[in-house]
Each structure stands twice: as C-alpha cells, then as structure tokens.
Amino acid sequence: MAKCPICNSRKGKRKCLIADALICSLCCGKTRTEAACSDCVFYRKPKRKYNEVPAYSVSEMDGNMELESYGNSIEGALCAYDIENGGKLNDSDAIRIIELLIDKYHFKDQQMDREHQIIVNGVNYVDKSIREDLKDVGNEEIVKVLGVIRFVARRRTKIGREYMTVIHQYVGQRVAPGIRILQQ
C-alpha cells in the first residue's frame, strides 16, 4: 500500500474526496471539513458540547419564582407530550428533545438531522409551548433554563423514566399557557 500523500509517513487506507488519493486516518481527521466531506462515509458531524452551553445553576433556579415558572412551562409540556404518547417517553428521549431545543435557541439550527418521529414531534410540541408561554422571555434566558433542565434530567436519570416520573409528580402536565395539573 502507498504512503499517505499528505503526511508521507503512514499507509493511506481511506479514499479521500479532497486529495483524490488514499490517505491515512490521522490526516483524514485533520483535513476533514463539513463542506468538502459531508458526502464521505468517514465524515461524522462534530458532537455538540451541551455541558458548555450557558445554563442557570440549580441554586439560581431554586426559589426564583420567575425562573421556576419558565422551567415548569417546559417540563409541563414534556409531561403533556408524554401523556399524549401513552407514557412512552424515556428520559433519553426527553433529554434529546431538550438538546434539540438548545440547538434551535442557542446554536440557531434551522432544521433537525435524522431523528425519530417521536423526538421531532416532541421538539415541535415543547417549542410551541415555549412560544406561547415564554413569548416575552429572551433567547438567552430560555437557553439557560433549557441548560439547567438538561443538567437535572441527566443527573436524575439512570436508564429509564426516573426524570419523567419526577416531573410528572412535581411539575405536572401543561394543559394551557400557565396552567398545569398534577397526576393523582
């Protein structure tokens, strides 16, 4: 096998669309760009670092009635969506819905990549609630609330519905703007 034409030190094993030759995996990773390599089988979109997104701390949220109402609106919408789907929403689904909302409000993504339909519908459902309940709230605050909700959900979950159970019990289902009901 021929050496990589970029570094000239390792064997080239990957067909590169840019170099039009076989290159090594290290050079493939270093030279990869979304614009040039999105059609390549080796290209993976970079993962978002949601832990670095601005977020309120749990202590900042605690006792702040205004911030708590923002969080309750979002979590209440998650509860309502879960109930509409027969209680099938797992914590991982809820977390992914929150992450996609962070993508929209923080990273300014206009569309979602390939996602399961239950996730896409959940994003649209919760986003509709955000637009109705939090229409006077700035994007920065919404992002910070979404960030703390994601943090709490990830901390609370183990493998199933632990987070969903807690928000059903303590937040309740959103039935209209500003109105939630708790399960019996």
List pLDDT tens digits, range 120-164. 999 999 999 999 999 999 999 999 999 999 999 999 999 899 999
Q: Please state, in angstroms and rounded to a whole number, the distance separating the CA atoms of residues 7 and 2.
A: 12
Asked if residue 132 and residue 101 are part of one domain, the reply reads yes
Asked if residue 174 and residue 109 are part of one domain, the reply reads yes
pLDDT value of residue 38: 85
Number of domains in the chain: 2
Q: Please state, in angstroms and rounded to a whole number, the distance separating the CA atoms of residues 12 and 26.
A: 10
User: Would the pLDDT of 1 be above 70?
Assistant: no
Give the pair of three-digit tokens for residue 180: 């939630």
Asked if residue 163 and residue 93 are part of one domain, the reply reads yes
Q: How would residue 47 be classed by pLDDT, with cut points 50, 70 and 90?
A: confident
CB-CB neighbours of 18 under 10 Å? 14
Asked if residue 161 and residue 78 are part of one domain, the reply reads yes
Domain that holds residue 119: 51-181
Q: Please state, in angstroms and rounded to a whole number, the distance separating the CA atoms of residues 95 and 26.
A: 33
Q: DSSP strand E in the chain: where? A: 14-16, 21-23, 173-176, 179-181
Mean pLDDT, rounded, for 31-49: 87
Asked if residue 30 and residue 61 are part of one domain, the reply reads no
| Structure confidence by residue, pLDDT tens digits, 68-126 | 999 999 999 999 999 999 999 999 999 999 999 999 999 999 888 788 999 999 999 99
Asked if residue 168 and residue 106 are part of one domain, the reply reads yes
Q: How many CA atoms lie within 13 A of 43 on its CB side?
A: 15
Q: What percent of the chain has pLDDT over 90?
A: 77
Residue 93 CA from chain centroid, whole number: 9
Asked if residue 162 and residue 122 are part of one domain, the reply reads yes
Mean pLDDT, rounded, for 50-55: 96
Q: Please state, in angstroms and rounded to a whole number, the distance separating the CA atoms of residues 87 and 148.
A: 23
Asked if residue 76 and residue 16 are part of one domain, the reply reads no
Q: Please state, in angstroms and rounded to a whole number, the distance separating the CA atoms of residues 53 and 106.
A: 8
Through-space distance between the first and last CA atoms of the chain, rounded to whole angstroms: 68
